[in-house]
Amino acid sequence: MTATSTPLSRSITKSVLSREQSEGIGARVRRSIGRPELRNHDPFLMLDEFSVDKNGGFPDHPHRGFETVTYMLEGQFQHEDFAGHKGTIGPGDLQWMTAGRGIVHSEMPVKSQTRAHGLQLWINLPKEHKMCEPQYQELLDGQIPRATPQDGVVVKVIAGESHGVKSQVYTRTPTMYLDFKMDKNKTVTQTIPSTYTGFLYMLKGTAFIGDKEFEGKAHHTLIFSKDGATTVKIQTKDEDAHFVFIAGEPLKEPIEQYGPFVMNSSDEINETFDDYENYKNGFERARNWRSTIV
């Protein structure tokens, strides 16, 4: 008979500070994944913490070959695309957009507010889904389930599962997206599939990750070890913490990215430019479309 032991937690192998930079029109973003020191983290292509004033935004622009996940923290954001989809998301709301073979859309703050603040994550699509039809999944804050593993710890289960609570979001690339709010002096363990890569992005406060208690502070991306461990231990000490826990199954496919287009080869990128410029193979509706929210 052998003694059972507590499974070791994944550790943190890299911490990247997200420095502010300009993006779009009048927007400031803190980019972590997508920076030179963290070009991508398969299957994730980019993570931005954005702050946009009422006169800024991201007017009409195309995408192909991946998904964009917009999660609002403060303020309201409008979106509109050439397929006729239009809506507004506010604090705690989520938009999961599968660009697939092609979309042109606009993302702009609601003009009656001071700023829109949130996160946008880009998730790569596997080769067999890169040319799928575009799709939106939209969830209001009240529609996102919560797990409460203990008093003082609340987990919004945006995608995947946490402590027996599952999300309704469909992910073509297997993905976990969890929003943790922890009071001070708490310890929680989150399970993670052994094959997933992942990270924490700290929004507020300080958290200590893994058995070695790596200290994570606001605006840092903390990369998990790839050692096959199936848990991540997270603690708070003398202050509260707010962070997102994001992980997914690596695609292990070639990545060829040119701005808003992400394919598997340079030939496919060239084809994408040809399709976009000539309004074909998914971009037909872009010819005469202009958003009304700019």
Ramachandran angles phi, psi of 182, nearest 5°: -125, 130
How far CA 255 is from CA of 42, 94, 251, in Å, comes to 9, 26, 10
Domain-embedded: residue 1: no
What is the pLDDT, as a whole number, of residue 280?
97
**Residue 177 bridge partners (DSSP):** 159, 246
Domain-embedded: residue 65: yes
Reported confidence tier of residue 1, pLDDT bands at 50, 70, 90 = very low
Average pLDDT of every residue of the chain: 94
How far CA 197 is from CA of 44, 207, 227, in Å, comes to 9, 19, 10
Is 129 known to sit in a ligand binding site? Answer: no
**CB burial class (10 A; 0-12, 13-18, 19+) of residue 217?**
middle
Q: What is the pLDDT of residues 132-154, one digit of tens each?
A: 999 999 999 999 999 999 999 99
Domain-embedded: residue 42: yes
Alpha helices, H only, the chain? 266-277
- Number of structural domains found in the chain: 1
Q: What is the pLDDT of residues 152-188, one digit of tens each?
A: 999 999 999 999 999 999 999 999 999 999 999 999 9
Q: What is the pLDDT of residues 213-231, one digit of tens each?
A: 999 999 999 999 999 999 9
Q: Which of 59, 177, 171 is nearest to 124 (CA)?
A: 171
Domain-embedded: residue 275: no
Domain-embedded: residue 257: no
Domain-embedded: residue 291: no
Using DSSP's 3-state secondary structure scheme, residue 166 falls into strand
Domain-embedded: residue 81: yes
Q: Please, what is the Cα angle at 217 between 233 and 23, to 5 degrees?
A: 120
Q: How far apart are CA 294 and CA 280, in angstroms?
A: 25
CATH number of 123's domain: 2.60.120.10
What is the pLDDT, as a whole number, of residue 6?
53
For 205, the domain range is 27-248
Is 105 known to sit in a ligand binding site? Answer: yes
Domain-embedded: residue 281: no
